[in-house]
Each structure stands twice: as C-alpha cells, then as structure tokens.
Amino acid sequence: MTRRRALLVLFVLLGSLLATPAAAANATDLHVVYLERPPYYWTENGQPRGFLLGLTRQILDRAGIPASFSQHPPNRIMEELRTDSGPTCSIGWFKTPERETFATFSLPIYRDQPLVLLTTTDKAHLFSRHTTLRDVLADRSLIMAQVASFSYGEAVDRMQKEILVRSLTVSSSQKVLPKLILQGRAAYMLVAPEEVPTLLRLAEVDAGRFTTLTMQDIPAGNLRYLIFTKSVPDSTLQRINAAIADLTDQDALGAPKP
C-alpha cells in the first residue's frame, strides 16, 4: 500500500512538471488579430504588413510576450473580443465606452492625422456648398461608404448617430470603398490622410481620379490602442504597457497638434 501510494505521488508530480511549460505558454501566448486597413495593417502576398503591425511586434518582443498573427474581418474580431474564448489582442482600435464594457485597452500607440473626405475629382463639386462635416453627413444626396464595426472616434461617431447618416456599409475590407465611389454607389468615405496612398494602390484604382477634402469641424486625429479580451492577465498588460511607454512618446500622443 505504501509503495503504491508513493508511485501515485510520483506520477502526479511528474505530470504536473510536464504540464507546467505548456500551461505557462498558454497563459502568456497572445492571438493577435488584425483587419485589412492599410497602411496600418494588411496582408500582402500572404504576409502581415503595416507600420502599426510592425510596432505591435516590437512592443510584444520588448514585453517578452509570444504571439501569433492572423487577419480577420472587423465584425469577427469584435465578436471574438466579446465572447472572450482566450487571450486575444487586436491592433489599432479606437477606445469607445461601448468597447470598454467587454474589452481592455493598452496605452495609446499612435494618433491619426485629422480625418479627410475622400471622393473623386468629378464629385468634388457636390461638396462645395458645405464647410462642415456635420453638413456633409446631413446631406441626404450624399452617400457615405463605410465598413461595419469601424469607429471614426467619439465625436464623429456621435455625429453619425445624431444625424442618421445615409450610408452604404460593407463587412469586407476597406479597399472596396474607393471602387464603390468610382461606381457611383457612394459619394465619399472618411479616412485618415496617411491611409490614402496605400488604400488607393491596394484598391487597384487610378489615384489621379481621387481627391481629399477637409472640413472646419473635423476634430483632432484619433488615438489608436491595442485592445484585449478580459482573459488577458493584468501582469501581461502591465508588461505590454511598459513596452509601449518605452517605444512611444506618450506626452506627444496626449497633446495633438492644433
């Protein structure tokens, strides 16, 4: 009986020792999902690309967090964050009160330049009577192209809800939106100016047919964050935030240029 009990204890100890490395890895590994939004993050020739995706790799390397990367549509990413089936991170999302109810955010990693309207040169005259974004959004003759689950920041999102903007919403990649504008199915889209060159290239459209417009009431560019499922441990988040603080200028991000 004593020998049997000793063998049982030995097997239990060996089992726990063998399980420890895998359990530790599972506790710290992150599944990082990103959507198609160049130049921040996108897939080209089967490989993840984008300057914010590259920054995220640096942050996780600095924090010592192993991670795998995969591309998903924005609606699926939001569903994965809500259901929280495991430690998941996504890149570059805006912080909103609704998202904070089911997810955790890092320190900011980037601030966009102020939004512009992207339209075609032959449609630019349709906007000449408007000086504010609010007026554009309220114009029922102008259809806005957008991707489901995208946020344009709290101020613009609030404007959209108040006005009930006439829009054409797709659940696929943002790169289809310029084509919808060329086809006449929409008149414009909202976009950060740093996105425009890569977006038009990946959309395989003639960039010379497009132009950008600014409006008086467009707010400062939005902050972008890493967003996490609630199952990501606080200790992991602390390490990631420490790495973000090392690799970015948090003071500059918090004080946008006028």
182-218 pLDDT per residue, tens: 999 999 999 999 999 999 998 999 999 999 999 999 9
Residues 129 and 249 occupy one common structural domain: no
Q: Among the residues of the chain, which ranges form H helices?
A: 2-28, 51-63, 74-83, 97-100, 133-138, 154-163, 177-182, 196-202, 234-247, 250-254
Can you tell me the distance from the alpha carbon of 63 to that of 68, in angstroms, rounded to the nearest whole number? 15
Q: Is residue 23 part of a domain?
A: no
What is the distance of C-alpha 9 from the center of its chain?
49
* Beta partners for residue 118, in sequence order: 189, 212
Give yes or no: residues 126 and 207 share one domain: yes
**Domain range enclosing 177:** 116-213
The predicted pLDDT at position 149 comes to: 79
Distance from C-alpha of 34 to C-alpha of 16, rounded to nearest angstrom? 35
3: in domain: no
Do 70 and 193 lie in one domain? The reply is no
How many domains would you assign to the chain? 2
CA atoms of 155 and 174, how far apart (whole Å): 21
| CATH code of the domain containing 133 | 3.40.190.10
Same domain, 129 and 209: yes
What are 43-74's pLDDT values in tens digits?
888 899 999 999 999 999 999 999 999 999 88
9-24: pLDDT as tens digits: 333 333 433 333 333 3
Predicted structure pTM score: 0.74
Q: Does 250 map to a domain?
A: yes
Q: Is 18 inside any structural domain?
A: no
10 within a domain of the structure (yes/no): no
Q: Are residues 196 and 243 in the same domain?
A: no
Tell which phi-psi region holds residue 205, choosing left (phi > 0), alpha (psi between -120 and 50) or beta: beta
